[in-house]
Chain A
Amino acid sequence: MDRFITLTSTVVPLPVENVDTDQIIPARFLKATSKEGFGDNLFRDWRYDEHGQPVSSFVLNNPLYGGSILVAGKNFGSGSSREHAAWAISGYGFRVVVSSFFADIFRNNAMNNGVLPVVVSAGFLAGIFASVETNPCATLTIDLPEQRITDNFTGKSEHFAINAYKKECFLNGFDDIDYLLSRKGTIETFEKTYY
């Protein structure tokens, strides 16, 4: 995993609630056996019509918007546990998703792929959407050591939560498997008392 410390970027606004993982990556694109290429089909059925032509009204096809931060409505990533959703978001080039509420499994999957889910208040989220509507070049800054997100257009900022362990993982580019493998001894000891 790449290290994550701070990031300043323009954003892609998706003011839609309850974006489920079937929309992020439809099931018919889950047949690959590697993690590559899912970004091409991110939001496939919103992004392309039935003839494979880009839907001009969809934000990913709007040249005004770009950047490595996706900002979405509440309850982002609900539904299926498919990690392909996180691979699609990461594969497309996003490193951060900002929302007022994330589904649990998606949040874990995102973090396991170096995509930082940042939970903000409903008011702050509405503020970001307003900033980007006024100025599509408005940027956000994510400062992980300080756990602070700043809307650089308005200058407003907010603290965000992340547990100390996950924060260390992001700052150092570690993943859970490395850590668990380093603790195999504890697992064998646990099994002796468990059985």
Chain B
Amino acid sequence: MRNGNNFRDDNGSARTLFDKIWDRHTVTTLEDGPTQLYIDRMYCHEVTSPQAFAGLRQRGLKVFRPKQITCIPDHNIPTVNQEQPIRDTVSRNQVETLGRNAGDFGLTCYPVGHPKNGIIHVVGPENGLTLPGMTIVCGDSHTSTHGAMGALAFGIGTSEVEMVLATQCVFQSRPKTMRITIDGKLGKCVGAKDIALYIISQIGTGGATGYFIEYAGETVRNLSMEGRLTLCNLSIESGARGGMIAPDETTFEYITKTVGAQPLFSEKEMKYWETLYSDSGSVFDKEIAFRAEDIEPMITYGTNPGMGMTVNGKIPNHCGHSSGETVKRALDYMGFRAGEKLTGKPVDYIFLGSCTNGRIEDFRAFAGLVSGRRKADNITAWLVPGSWHVSEQIREEGLDRMLIEAGFEIRQPGCSACLAMNDDKIPAGKYAVSTSNRNFEGRQGPGARTILAGPLVAAAAAITGVITDPREI
């Protein structure tokens, strides 16, 4: 790991990718204050928007730019029997409130069961709603995901959702910039999730607080669009406001494939896209570099995403970013001891899904490792596609048949067990290997013990019933 601060060179006009998008969207910057930033697109889900719409009504306001807002319920929705009314009446009210607000204010909504419904951070990129060079916000910290398309995307609170509804702008302090460069060739069974968990284990959950990250380097360039979305998704877990990757052929091919080849974009827009990279000589407030060869399949052992290690490693005696007290508290909660290995430990639940790992590539990886084997008897597995589109891809590729024959069940799309707002809750004390993004205490249900991992580590545990290094299968 190389760590250092850069100094501005002679070329003062060289700008980073972040600078270019931020500057283009700056309406004004207040003296010793925040920037008034223009927002191209906002996504609203049912949990963090109702109070914002209520605020608009109280002030007697309309939505300022309704065409730039898309409403998608995803947090509360069940992953079975979606065609029936939601049984939890409080959840149902929240989901229905979003639909009503969208209707009243003239906004596009993809309700439960709509072919474009799914997790916002999966649906946006796959429907051409998220495009390079845009500013994108949502009342959801994982909005950082959209940065993978070369957009400037970040999570906001509900008061800020109300600001965007009312004025299409937010006030934000300009974050510092950080470039994380990863070069080299990834080893066997190492994917984007492992890269992200590795980075967070190295820099800590507050390591990028105050910064906006640009991911660069050969390893990042070689990631698929799905992999890039996973990497940027987890930026917030290191505290960053967001993460982004300069758009390239991979990005443009993805857009063409998902949106269609027809010339939907103006010449001005395409010209702008061509400028979306960090100029050579542009200066970042902080630069960090990693080698791909140092990264192995990862798991977490504690109660924040920074407490990660290689799957066959031993739980360290201390975590560089947390006090001894914090680590002890985490290990007590998890029922683990410092110095012990986790491979061979029985697991109860497997969760494949979420805005982190609910895309087609994740299902391909999981199914590829399962191939010809069966789910272990002690495992309850929830396989939850990130969207109906992903669900359809799974079916088209025959992965559903293969997984069902292996003893798995594929559920309907939604955020599901990632934050357990619906019925998909991990029971207290049980261990879950989850491809989601947070292992906080109680995140997947009160008392639930979450071990974060990528789809291959999850698949290896699903077929063996214990934590297993996927390279040994």
How far is A140 from B76 in the complex, measured between Cα atoms in Å?
41
Interface centre among A73, A80, A101, A102 (most CB of B within 10 A): A80
Given the complex, which residues of A lie within 8 Å of B325, measured CB to CB? 17
Query: Contacts A26-B442, A180-B163: A163 and B304 contacting too (C-beta < 8 A)?
Result: no
**Contact, CB under 8 Å: B166 / A103:** no
Given the complex, which residues of B lie within 8 Å of A190, measured CB to CB? 27, 38
**Contact, CB under 8 Å: A112 / B27:** no
How far is A23 from B438 in the complex, measured between Cα atoms in Å?
12
**Contact, CB under 8 Å: A17 / B322:** yes
User: Which of B13-44 touch A at CB < 8 Å?
Assistant: 24-25, 27-28, 30-34, 36, 38
**Contact, CB under 8 Å: A81 / B34:** no
Q: Tally B residues with Cβ within 8 Å of A.
A: 74
How far is A166 from B34 in the complex, measured between Cα atoms in Å?
9
**Contact, CB under 8 Å: A101 / B209:** yes
How far is A100 from B4 in the complex, measured between Cα atoms in Å?
23
The reply to whether the CB of A47 lies closer than 8 angstroms to some CB of chain B is no
Contact of B76 among A31, A102, A183, A194 (CB under 8 A): A31
**Contact, CB under 8 Å: A31 / B157:** no
Given the complex, which residues of A lie within 8 Å of B61, measured CB to CB? 181
Given the complex, which residues of A lie within 8 Å of B254, measured CB to CB? none
**Contact, CB under 8 Å: A177 / B442:** no
Given the complex, which residues of B lie within 8 Å of A164, measured CB to CB? 31-33
How far is A135 from B359 in the complex, measured between Cα atoms in Å?
54
Total number of residue pairs linking A and B with CB closer than 8 Å? 188
The reply to whether the CB of B93 lies closer than 8 angstroms to some CB of chain A is yes
User: Which of A142-195 touch B at CB < 8 Å?
Assistant: 163-166, 175-177, 179-181, 183-184, 186-187, 190-191, 194
Contact of B167 among A26, A45, A74, A187 (CB under 8 A): A187
**Contact, CB under 8 Å: B167 / A184:** yes
Interface centre among B59, B209, B210, B237 (most CB of A within 10 A): B209
Chain A residue, CB-CB nearest to B302:
A18
Contact of A22 among B156, B206, B209, B438 (CB under 8 A): B438
The reply to whether the CB of B90 lies closer than 8 angstroms to some CB of chain A is yes
Contact of A163 among B33, B158, B166 (CB under 8 A): B33
**Contact, CB under 8 Å: A177 / B447:** no
**Contact, CB under 8 Å: A163 / B239:** no
Given the complex, which residues of B lie within 8 Å of A35, measured CB to CB? 51
Query: Contacts A33-B54, A34-B51, A108-B160: A163 and B167 contacting too (C-beta < 8 A)?
Result: no
How far is A32 from B49 in the complex, measured between Cα atoms in Å?
11
Chain B residue, CB-CB nearest to A176:
B171
**Contact, CB under 8 Å: A186 / B28:** yes
Given the complex, which residues of A lie within 8 Å of B421, measured CB to CB? 27-28, 30-31
**Contact, CB under 8 Å: B239 / A78:** yes
Contact of B47 among A30, A105, A108, A194 (CB under 8 A): A30
The reply to whether the CB of B241 lies closer than 8 angstroms to some CB of chain A is yes
**Contact, CB under 8 Å: B166 / A177:** yes
The reply to whether the CB of A104 lies closer than 8 angstroms to some CB of chain B is yes
Given the complex, which residues of A lie within 8 Å of B158, measured CB to CB? 83, 109
Contact of A81 among B50, B90, B139, B442 (CB under 8 A): B139
**Contact, CB under 8 Å: B441 / A22:** yes
How far is A182 from B257 in the complex, measured between Cα atoms in Å?
43
The reply to whether the CB of B223 lies closer than 8 angstroms to some CB of chain A is no
The reply to whether the CB of A79 lies closer than 8 angstroms to some CB of chain B is yes
Given the complex, which residues of B lie within 8 Å of A81, measured CB to CB? 48, 139-141, 143, 155-157
User: Which of B442-473 touch A at CB < 8 Å?
Assistant: 442-443, 446-447
Contact of B54 among A34, A102, A184 (CB under 8 A): A34
The reply to whether the CB of B175 lies closer than 8 angstroms to some CB of chain A is yes
A97 CB to closest chain B CB (Å) equals 15
Given the complex, which residues of A lie within 8 Å of B442, measured CB to CB? 22-23, 26, 45
Chain A residue, CB-CB nearest to B438:
A79
B442 CB to closest chain A CB (Å) equals 5
The reply to whether the CB of B440 lies closer than 8 angstroms to some CB of chain A is yes
How far is A16 from B237 in the complex, measured between Cα atoms in Å?
18
User: Which of B160-198 touch A at CB < 8 Å?
Assistant: 160, 162-163, 166-173, 175
**Contact, CB under 8 Å: B36 / A20:** no
**Contact, CB under 8 Å: A113 / B443:** no
Contact with A along B125-148 (1 / 0, CB 8 A): 000000000000001110100000
How far is A71 from B88 in the complex, measured between Cα atoms in Å?
36
28 CB-based A-B contacts, threshold 8 Å: A17-B325, A20-B440, A22-B442, A26-B446, A27-B420, A31-B76, A31-B93, A32-B50, A33-B51, A33-B94, A75-B239, A79-B141, A79-B237, A79-B438, A79-B440, A82-B157, A83-B157, A83-B158, A112-B160, A163-B34, A164-B32, A165-B33, A180-B169, A181-B166, A184-B167, A186-B28, A187-B38, A194-B38
Q: A-contacting residues of B (Cβ < 8 Å)? A: 24-25, 27-28, 30-34, 36, 38, 47-48, 50-51, 54-55, 59, 61, 64, 75-76, 88, 90-91, 93-94, 97, 139-141, 143, 155-160, 162-163, 166-173, 175, 205-206, 209-210, 236-237, 239, 241, 304, 322-323, 325-326, 329, 419-421, 428, 438, 440-443, 446-447
List 17 other contacts, CB 8 Å, given A31-B93, A103-B209, A163-B33: A18-B304, A20-B440, A31-B47, A31-B90, A31-B421, A50-B447, A75-B239, A78-B205, A79-B236, A82-B157, A103-B206, A104-B210, A165-B31, A165-B171, A180-B166, A186-B27, A186-B28
